[in-house]
Amino acid sequence: MAIKSFWSDLLKVGSSVAIAALVAGVLMTTAKAQTIVTTQQQSFDQRQEQDIESIVHRYLLKNPEVVYQALVSWQAQQEQAEKVAAQQNIAPNADALFNRASDPIFGNPNGDVVMVEFFDYRCGYCKRVTPGLMDMLAKDGNVKLVMKEFPILGPDSVVAARAALAARKQGKYNDLHMALIKTKGALNEGIIMKIASSIGIDTDQLKSDMNDPAIQQEIAETRALAQALKINGTPAFVFSDQVVPGAISPEQMQQHVDRIRQSNG
């Protein structure tokens, strides 16, 4: 939809110069373009430039789908480039991803495969994927899941992340995590404290611990990791050598785990 809207706006502009600039790269790969550019790095006088712009303009009016196809292709290339960049950034950030001592853990702490989840407590997809994720961990029995608090859906998400991380000091991170992830509807501080109290957390201590600067630092470091890995939504998973965005199924998770085991011999 964004591409179609852009194309519509572009046509409203009506500038042959702007259109020519947009599709020059596309036309360079077509037979028609070859009739325009006969030698590499050729320079044109003002009249020739006007003629070229006129040719390009007429061509696009007759074949408007070319620009749409070019934008779709460009978008796909950009997405692929980001994917490659994300994969390349896993290794330099491996310790922070897989071995940060402060990160909460689910599954087997000594598992032979490590996977990472970036999540937000207010993310509906994160909530949906969790039961299958926990079931996969239980059935496999040898996967270590590293939790990355990545609050991106507003101030309440940040409060929830800080509360969960603060609950570690009472040995209650996993319990509060599951309680928050199962909660539907609003998730403000008042509700979070009620949930925490219901599972045996001292809320006065929790509120105090939430102000620990180390917690804010941890969240900031996770945001930096996400940026390096081109993660801009939740949930997102990292499997050893691959970033996998979205709410994937337990079967897909297991496939990644099996692939890693096979590659590790």
- Compute CA distances 128 → 40, 235, 237, 247, 248, whole Å: 55, 10, 14, 8, 10
Per-domain residue ranges for the chain?
Answer: 2-88, 92-264
Q: Is the pLDDT of residue 240 over 50?
A: yes
Look up the pTM and report it.
0.70
DSSP H or E segment with residue 168: none
Distance (Å, whole) CA 38 – CA 15: 24
Q: Write out pLDDT tens, residues 219-233.
A: 999 999 999 999 999
Tell me: domain 92-264, CATH 3.40.30.10, correct?
Answer: yes
Distance of CA 103 to the CA centre of its chain: 19
Closest CA to 19 of 27, 10, 28, 9: 10
Q: Write out pLDDT tens, residues 50-83.
A: 878 888 878 787 887 877 777 777 666 665 555 6
Strand partners, 250: none
**DSSP 3-state assignment of 67?**
helix
Q: Is the pLDDT of residue 97 over 90?
A: yes
Please check whether residue 87 is in contact with residue 229, taking contact to mean a CB–CB distance below 8 angstroms: no
